[in-house]
Amino acid sequence: MLEVPLGAIMCPMGELNERLVAELVDAVRLQLRKEAGERLRDLYLIGDIEKDTAKSCIERLRDLANDNNRPITLYINSAGGNVTDGLAIHDSIRHVISRGIEVTIVVQGMAYSMGSIVLQAASEGRRLAFPHSWIMIHEPAKWAGWQSTTAAAQHLERLKQMQDQIYKILSARSGKPLRQIIKDTKRTDFYLDAQKAYEYGLIDKVVAGELEESQPTAIDSKSATPPIAAVETARQPEAAHERSTETVHAGKAGQAG
């Protein structure tokens, strides 16, 4: 409900001054912002995925889910981070979806490493990306931070379990067989732009927003100067003749030497 300043109610219309009008305008703006905030069901995962960002994201997600069952949108721009924190976000999203709430995830910028796994948590058909976004997947051992042989050996069993979990998530959502996921990510970072990510199955749609190509302006063919390409084409025979003449002269010079 719009809260009208008390002075505006008690003061006759003819005595309204600029201050009261400004107060009325501010009250209307405040109410509009409040209503817009209630309608807005967005959350953001920006930066590295670690304990604090995961905590904030999950808390916001649960607050929105507990308010009502309207759809939620998560915008992600992350180079990745901790495996367990990323999986915690992924599982929290899937839990909200299991309650009948649609969750859309939109990549704006990048979803690398664990960011690409969080992306896969979205509702069916709701993994989106802006045209100039990038998605990257790679070997789960890198995500776990166990790149040295010694560290990997110490945590071999847990590493294998995490690898299996992540590979299964990527395979299930992309439709690619496990062997291809493993092949594409083994010992390399597999980068895909938005269109390639769509073709690979990591997203469901590229969000509109690509700049349109400029169209050539129509000109009068009688008065217009020939296009550059046409001029260059017309000049080619003459240039070729000049080059052949130079070649002959050069050959004669060589003979003379």
Q: How far is CA 94 from CA 39, 42, 103, 219, 228, in A?
A: 22, 16, 9, 57, 57
Active-site amino acid positions: 113, 138
Cα angle 130, 133, 138 (rounded to 5 degrees) comes to 135
Q: Does residue 223 or residue 194 have the better pLDDT?
A: 194
Overall average pLDDT of the 101-113 stretch = 97
Write out the two tokens for 90.
Answer: 């992924």
- Banded pLDDT at 249 (limits 50, 70, 90): very low
d(CA 244, CA 246): 5
Overall average pLDDT of the 24-48 stretch = 82
Half-sphere exposure in the Cβ direction for 80 (13 Å, CA): 18
Domains recognised in the chain with CATH numbers: 1-40 (no CATH), 42-206 (3.90.226.10)
d(CA 216, CA 164): 53
Q: Does residue 234 or residue 131 have the better pLDDT?
A: 131
Contacts 24+ apart (CB under 8 A), 47-50: 47/77, 47/78, 47/79, 48/78, 48/79, 48/80, 48/81, 49/78, 49/80, 49/81, 49/82, 49/85, 49/86, 49/89, 49/114, 49/115, 49/118, 50/81, 50/82, 50/85
| Per-residue pLDDT tens over the stretch 58-90 | 999 999 999 999 999 999 999 999 999 999 999
- When mean pLDDT is compared across 40-44, 114-118, 169-173, the lowest value belongs to 40-44
d(CA 81, CA 138): 13
| Per-residue pLDDT tens over the stretch 129-160 | 999 999 999 987 655 555 555 655 667 778 78
Half-sphere exposure in the Cβ direction for 78 (13 Å, CA): 27
- The reply to whether the predicted model has a pTM over 0.95 is no
Write out the two tokens for 204.
Answer: 């469901």
